[in-house]
Amino acid sequence: MSLENLLFEIVEGVATVTVNRPKAMNALTLETLAELGDVVGKIVNNPEIRVAILTGSGTKAFVAGADIAMMREMTPMQAREMSLRAHRIFAEIEQSAKPFIAAVNGYALGGGCELAMACDIRIATENAKFGQPEINLGILPGFGGTQRLPRLVGKGRALELILTGEMIDASEAFRIGLVNRVVAPGELLAETGQLARKIAVKGQPAVQLCKQAIVNGLEMDIARGCAYEVELFANSFSTADQQEGMAAFLEKRLAVFRDC
Ligand code: HXC
């Protein structure tokens, strides 16, 4: 599929996907979603890619939501289909063994905030703004916001954001745990790239088991989650990387992981 609305590059095991519709604040159309689905599939299936970064083009918007002009005439069936389509892609991001980092470079509203929340880690610029303004359009979040926002920031804060539709700035998003850190706009891609590379040099089986344990374990009660961890922990001892990591420590040298 040729990419009209996204930029996609791979450098040293780190894939960067840039939503590129600057005239519409990088709002997501059905075509953009189709391209995103295609690119996420490529990231998941390409063994050279170890970590992915999602960002928006320009300095104003990460993604200002689903495209309102496109949604205006939608029937309930079409809205359902679009919601399902985004849910499938966002679930693939979340369930992928590879870490996804959202580099939030401006407005992350509606479907944009939801896309950032489907990622594993969020880094925002000082000028970034977050919100679920769907209530002001007479609809509700449909790309996972009602589910992922309360899981990230708690029920009360999620209800306040979703029921008022008001935006919060990056420092408030940091305070409530919606973003991991806030950086100056000029530093976003350097900081995010540095974090991605720190993760990319680890042994991939361990990275993948860590993500799996946290993402899936969070949906379990504590006893089942801990039992799940036991099994994944045991699995990590069947890897060559476990042998190498422990040998390297004891021999006082750097580990050379082989991702197996
Ligand atoms: C379509 C959009 C858009 C969007 C911005 N634009 N957001 N077009 N869909 N979500 C367009 C504007 O129409 C305008 O086009 C251009 O981008 C620049 O936007 P302005 O409003 O002029 O810029 P500014 O005054 O700086 O305000 C920026 C903004 C505002 C705060 C981001 O644009 C805004 O509030 N956008 C809508 C945000 C929103 O409600 N998102 C949630 C969508 S619902 P022109 O042609 O006039 O230059 C959603 C549901 C997901 O995401 C789930 C569905 C199942």
Query: pLDDT value at position 188?
Result: 98
Residue 222 Cα distances to 180, 225, 228, angstroms: 24, 5, 10
Which helix (H) or strand (E) element contains residue 95?
Answer: helix 76-95
Ligand 1 contact, 143 CB (< 6 A): yes
Active site residues: 114, 134
Domains and CATH numbers, the chain: 6-200 (3.90.226.10), 204-250 (1.10.12.10)
Query: pLDDT value at position 43?
Result: 98
Condensed to tens digits (0 to 9), the pLDDT of residues 137-169 reads 999 999 999 999 999 999 999 999 999 999 999
Atom index in ligand 1 nearest the CA of residue 66 equals 52
Q: Whose CA is nearest to atom 11 of ligand 1?
A: 24
Ligand 1 contact, 90 CB (< 6 A): no
Alpha-carbon span 92 to 215, nearest angstrom: 12
Q: Please choose, from the candidates 153, 155, 56, the residue with its C-alpha nearest in 3D space to the C-alpha of residue 112.
A: 56
| φ, ψ for residue 238, nearest 5 deg | -100, 10
Compute, in angstroms, the gap from residue 71 CA to the centroid of ligand 1: 12
Question: Which of 19, 25, 140 for mutating ligand 1's site (highest number of atoms within 8 Å of CB)?
Answer: 25
Yes or no: say if 6 and 18 are a contact pair by the CB < 8 Å rule: yes
Structural tokens at position 200:
């990319």
Compute, in angstroms, the gap from residue 220 CA to the centroid of ligand 1: 37
Average pLDDT, the chain: 97
Compute, in angstroms, the gap from residue 40 CA to the centroid of ligand 1: 24
Yes or no: say if 132 and 145 are a contact pair by the CB < 8 Å rule: yes
Atom index in ligand 1 nearest the CA of residue 107 equals 32
Ligand 1 contact, 66 CB (< 6 A): yes
Q: Whose CA is nearest to atom 8 of ligand 1?
A: 24
Which helix (H) or strand (E) element contains residue 11?
Answer: strand 6-11
Mean pLDDT of successive 10-residue stretches along the chain, which has 260 residues: 95 97 97 98 97 97 98 98 98 97 98 98 98 98 98 98 98 98 97 98 96 97 98 98 98 95
Which long-range contacts (C-beta less than 8 Å, at least 24 apart) are formed by 148-157? 148/114, 148/117, 148/118, 149/113, 149/117, 151/218, 152/117, 152/177, 152/178, 153/177, 153/178
Ligand 1 contact, 28 CB (< 6 A): no
Structural tokens at position 88:
């499938």
Compute, in angstroms, the gap from residue 236 CA to the centroid of ligand 1: 46
Ligand 1 contact, 67 CB (< 6 A): yes
Give exposure, 210-237, as e/b (b: 16+ Cβ within 10 Å): bbbbeebbeeeeeeebeeebeebeeebe
Query: Could you report the predicted ipTM of this complex, rounded to two decimals?
Result: 0.98
* pTM across the whole model: 0.97
Query: pLDDT value at position 5?
Result: 98
Structural tokens at position 56:
């928006």
Compute, in angstroms, the gap from residue 114 CA to the centroid of ligand 1: 15
